[in-house]
Structures are given as structure tokens and as C-alpha cells.
């Protein structure tokens, strides 16, 4: 017994001595408040956030159909563009380009989609308020898929009728629906839409919304996995400081300390996905050649008027379940605000910012360190005063957030790369 006490005491002394050594070497132990912050950043596995606006969100059949549509290039004006053209599975569902390229070139960077199902807002400017409604935007964008809703609904009826009906019930009568029609497409498509009856328009809109709901059911399954950072926090929370220090290097730990301290990164990049799902103006420079961009100011206006928003007749939610939209906040500060992206796998997502203005993480950290004035509106960040060494440590820490994604194979789906 006495021997056991001696061993235990010796172990305690050793652990304390290690902590002291760390302290003397300039690395204090995490405080109670800091540990609480670290726990808040740790990836936790649990049920996905529900989406009351999509009653098919958890349907296996819907996800299978959505996965096939995600990779199907026929859903474009020229037969060459699918969702997976920009959201490339082998590249964390993004394309590595400054600006997305569909049938044309967009004015924005492709957003990674892992874990995005838990977000209340979609696109860099939050102009959509559900994952299913988001999926409809690029389909009709003239520079992304370039097609129109009548075309897609007819394609679905031809190639996916049985799969569709297994999820959504009987296909509506499409007799008389023109091959191309949309309320927002080309002049010809708009004219064709106007010639359709209200019943035909509603039938096409309903199937079109269901295309989005199936794609969303698939995308919801694309989730980040625990990275080295999470394993480190697990060890810290368990009180295993020796084990923890074997997971992250000294510089990575210093970077983490900067991330939650001097760097003030957690002001926006908080929670398990390292985003508060909100919008911020961080003074990102203008990318030359792009039109004026008001960011969230314009996105908020659009989502409130969106024909497929949570309060629309194509949503499955009760109005009381549309709290984010009903309590949307927009004011002068919304000008040139953009969505705070998740930092999961951020080291694999270059280039950065809403139009790929910054090529590397080093450039991003330097941007935050300098905090230049915003081209329009008011930047919310202040200079950080980080040394060269601290900037390097912050970048090293960000790489500890990388891990392979959790995705389930989709039968019949083929990578486009």
C-alpha cells in the first residue's frame, strides 16, 4: 500500500513537474475558461440539425436520388455541368479556384459544403435559408448550370421518374409544359413561363423544389470528421496533458492559444464547425473585374423575397419554425458582410475569401493582422500585432483542423475528377 502511495505521489509530482516545465518554458496550462472554449470548438457527433422546411431531409431514398442528381451533368444548359463540377468530392467538395466555373464564370468562390446542413444561411451573402433552396440557385444561374426549371423537371420525369415517385409520390401531369421555361431565365424562357397556366407553374415549381430537397438530403450526409485538434482537446479535457502534447506540436499549441486569444479568431470562428454561421465585414479587398458587391445587404433582401424560402408554399415548415427568416437582422453594417465559413479542413481549401482574393492561409492571417479598411461599409476587425513567428504558429494550428470527410457512397455516382 505504502509503495502504491509512493508511486502515485511520484506520478503526481512528475505530472506537476511537467506542467511546471511547460510553464517555465512559456507555455502555461489551459485555464478553466480556456478549456471551456476548447470544449466548445470540439467536433461532437450527434443527430444532424433538423430542417423542418424539408420533410425528406432524413430520407434514405431522397439522399440516394439527390446523390445521383448531384453528379448528373444533364442538369445543365450544355450537358457539361453538375453540382460536382464545382463541389468536387476528392477536393473536400470545392474546386480550388478563385471563382467558380460552370457554363460561365461566377463572381464568387465555391463554398465547401461539409457540415453546412447545420447552417441557417447559404451562399456567401446568405441569399438562401435552406440547403434545398440553395441547391436550386446554381441550377438556374446563367453562369453555373445555365438551364431552367421546366427543362430539369422534364429531365427528371424522363430519367428518374421511379426514383422520384418512391420519395415524393406521383409525378404531376406535365402535359403542355414547354421544354424551357422559368420566371427568371432567358427572355424566351420567361415568355414561355408566362404562357403556362398557374397550375402548370405550380406543378413545375413543386417538382423543382423536390429536386432541391433530394440534393439537400444527400448533401446533409457530407460531414467533417474529428481532426488532430479534436483529439488534442479530448486529451486536454481528460486531464492527459502528456498525451495531449504528443498530438499537437508546441507551435501548433501556441497557434491554438493565439486563435482563442490574441488573434480573436473565435469571435466569429466558434463552435464545432468553427463558424458562428453569421456574416462579417473583414475588409476583404475587391477582386478586379467583378461588379459592385453589397454582400449580406443584398443577400438579406433577396432571401426575404425568395420564392422558395422557409415561409413559401414550397417549404414544409410552419411559419413558427422559420425563426431565422422572421428575425433576420439587417442594417448599415450588413454592407459587404459575407458569411463566416467553417474552418474545418481550411488548409485544404485555398484560395480564400468570398472571391478567392487571398491565395494562401499565410496571406489570410496577414490580412487579419493588418486589418485594412473595407472597400465599402465598415470592417469589423482591428490590427492584431502578431509577430512573424505568431503568424506562422496560427497557420500551423489551422492545419490541425484537417481530416477526411465522412460521406456515404452513392450508388451510381462517379467522381468527375
Partner 1 sequence: MKPALRHSLVAILALVALPACVGPGPEADASTTRISRAGLFEVSYTSTVTPVPKRALHSWTLQVHTRDGHPVTDARIRVEGGMPQHGHGLPTAPVVRAGPGDGLYVLEGMKFNMGGYWVVDLVITSPEGNDDVRFELNL
Nearer to partner 1, 39 or 91 (CB): 39
Closest Cα partner for 65 from 181, 171, 140? 171
The reply to whether 16 sits near partner 1 by the rule CB under 8 A is yes
The reply to whether 7 sits near partner 1 by the rule CB under 8 A is no
**CB 120 → partner 1: shortest distance, Å?**
8
Helix (H, G, I), strand (E, B) or coil at 234: helix
Instruction: Please identify, among the stretches 20-28, 56-64, 98-106, 310-318, the one whose residues bind partner 1 according to the rule CB under 8 A.
Output: 20-28
The reply to whether 250 sits near partner 1 by the rule CB under 8 A is no
The reply to whether 278 sits near partner 1 by the rule CB under 8 A is yes
Burial class (CB in 10 A: 0-12, 13-18, 19+), 406: middle
Question: How far is residue 82's CA from residue 344's CA, in Å, rounded to a whole number?
Answer: 24
**CB 261 → partner 1: shortest distance, Å?**
5
Nearer to partner 1, 51 or 64 (CB): 51
Q: Are the C-beta atoms of 335 and 265 separated by less than 8 Å?
A: no
The reply to whether 11 sits near partner 1 by the rule CB under 8 A is no
Residues 333-372 that bind partner 1 (CB under 8 A): 333
R_g (Cα) of the chain, nearest Å: 24
Helix (H, G, I), strand (E, B) or coil at 293: coil
The reply to whether 136 sits near partner 1 by the rule CB under 8 A is no
Residue 45 CB partners (closer than 8 Å, separation 6+)? none
The reply to whether 5 sits near partner 1 by the rule CB under 8 A is yes
Instruction: Please identify, among the stretches 164-172, 223-231, 318-326, 402-410, the one whose residues bind partner 1 according to the rule CB under 8 A.
Output: 318-326
Binding partner 1 (rule: CB under 8 A), the pick from 45, 162, 187, 327 is 327
Q: Are the C-beta atoms of 98 and 355 separated by less than 8 Å?
A: yes
Residues 104-123 that bind partner 1 (CB under 8 A): 120
Buried b (16+ CB within 10 A) or exposed e, 92-130: bbbbeebbbbbbeebebbbbbbbbbbbbebbbbbbbbbb
The reply to whether 267 sits near partner 1 by the rule CB under 8 A is yes
The reply to whether 21 sits near partner 1 by the rule CB under 8 A is no
Closest Cα partner for 42 from 272, 363, 318? 272
Binding partner 1 (rule: CB under 8 A), the pick from 184, 199, 261, 285 is 261
Residues 151-210 that bind partner 1 (CB under 8 A): none
**CB 252 → partner 1: shortest distance, Å?**
17
**CB 232 → partner 1: shortest distance, Å?**
16
**CB 4 → partner 1: shortest distance, Å?**
12
Burial class (CB in 10 A: 0-12, 13-18, 19+), 382: exposed
Binding partner 1 (rule: CB under 8 A), the pick from 277, 284, 315, 402 is 277
The three grid cell numbers given for residue 222, joined into one nine-digit string:
457530407
Torsion of CA 5, 10, 14, 20, to 10 degrees: 90
Question: How far is residue 209's CA from residue 74's CA, in Å, rounded to a whole number?
Answer: 18
Q: Are the C-beta atoms of 372 and 143 separated by less than 8 Å?
A: no
The reply to whether 328 sits near partner 1 by the rule CB under 8 A is yes
Residues forming the site for partner 1 (CB under 8 A): 5, 9, 12-13, 16-17, 19-20, 23, 28-31, 33-34, 36-37, 40, 120, 257, 260-261, 266-268, 270-271, 276-278, 323-324, 326-329, 331, 333, 380
Amino acid at each position: 500500500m505504502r509503495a502504491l502511495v509512493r508511486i502515485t505521489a511520484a506520478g503526481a509530482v512528475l505530472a506537476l513537474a511537467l506542467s511546471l516545465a511547460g510553464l517555465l518554458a512559456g507555455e502555461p496550462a489551459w485555464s478553466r475558461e480556456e478549456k471551456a472554449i476548447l470544449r466548445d470548438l470540439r467536433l461532437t457527433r450527434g443527430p444532424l440539425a433538423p430542417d423542418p422546411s424539408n420533410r425528406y431531409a432524413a430520407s434514405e431514398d431522397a439522399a440516394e436520388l439527390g446523390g445521383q442528381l448531384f453528379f448528373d451533368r444533364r442538369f445543365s444548359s450544355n450537358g457539361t455541368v453538375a453540382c460536382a463540377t464545382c463541389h468536387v468530392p476528392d477536393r473536400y467538395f470545392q474546386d480550388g479556384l478563385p471563382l467558380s466555373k460552370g457554363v460561365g464564370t461566377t463572381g464568387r468562390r465555391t463554398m465547401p459544403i461539409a457540415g453546412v446542413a447545420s447552417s441557417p444561411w447559404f451562399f456567401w451573402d446568405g441569399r438562401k435559408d435552406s440547403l434545398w433552396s440553395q441547391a436550386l440557385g446554381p441550377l438556374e444561374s446563367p453562369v453555373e448550370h445555365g438551364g431552367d426549371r421546366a427543362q430539369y423537371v422534364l429531365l427528371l420525369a424522363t430519367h428518374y421518374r421511379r426514383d422520384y415517385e418512391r420519395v415524393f409520390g406521383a409525378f404531376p401531369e406535365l402535359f403542355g409544359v414547354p421544354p424551357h421555361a422559368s420566371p427568371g431565365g432567358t427572355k424566351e424562357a420567361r415568355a414561355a413561363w408566362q404562357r403556362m397556366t398557374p397550375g402548370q407553374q405550380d406543378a413545375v415549381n413543386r417538382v423543382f423544389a423536390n429536386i432541391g430537397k433530394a440534393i439537400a438530403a444527400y448533401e446533409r450526409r457530407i460531414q467533417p470528421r474529428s481532426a488532430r485538434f479534436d483529439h488534442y482537446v479530448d486529451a486536454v479535457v481528460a486531464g492527459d496533458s502528456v498525451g495531449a502534447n504528443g498530438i499537437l506540436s508546441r507551435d501548433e499549441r501556441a497557434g491554438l492559444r493565439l486563435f482563442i486569444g490574441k488573434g480573436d479568431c473565435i469571435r466569429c470562428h466558434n463552435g464545432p464547425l468553427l463558424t458562428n454561421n453569421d456574416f462579417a465585414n473583414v475588409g476583404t479587398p475587391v477582386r478586379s473585374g467583378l461588379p459592385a458587391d453589397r454582400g449580406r445587404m443584398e443577400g438579406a433582401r433577396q432571401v426575404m423575397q425568395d420564392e422558395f424560402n422557409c415561409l413559401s408554399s414550397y417549404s414544409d415548415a410552419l411559419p413558427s419554425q422559420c425563426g431565422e427568416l422572421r428575425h433576420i437582422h439587417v442594417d448599415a453594417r450588413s454592407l459587404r458582410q459575407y458569411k463566416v465559413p467553417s474552418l474545418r479542413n481550411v488548409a485544404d481549401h485555398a484560395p480564400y475569401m468570398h472571391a478567392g482574393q487571398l491565395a494562401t492561409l499565410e496571406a489570410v492571417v496577414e490580412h487579419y493582422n493588418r486589418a485594412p479598411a473595407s472597400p465599402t461599409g465598415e470592417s469589423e476587425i482591428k490590427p492584431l500585432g502578431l509577430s512573424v513567428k505568431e503568424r506562422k504558429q496560427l497557420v500551423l494550428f489551422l492545419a490541425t483542423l484537417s481530416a477526411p470527410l465522412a460521406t456515404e457512397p452513392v450508388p451510381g455516382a462517379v467522381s468527375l475528377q
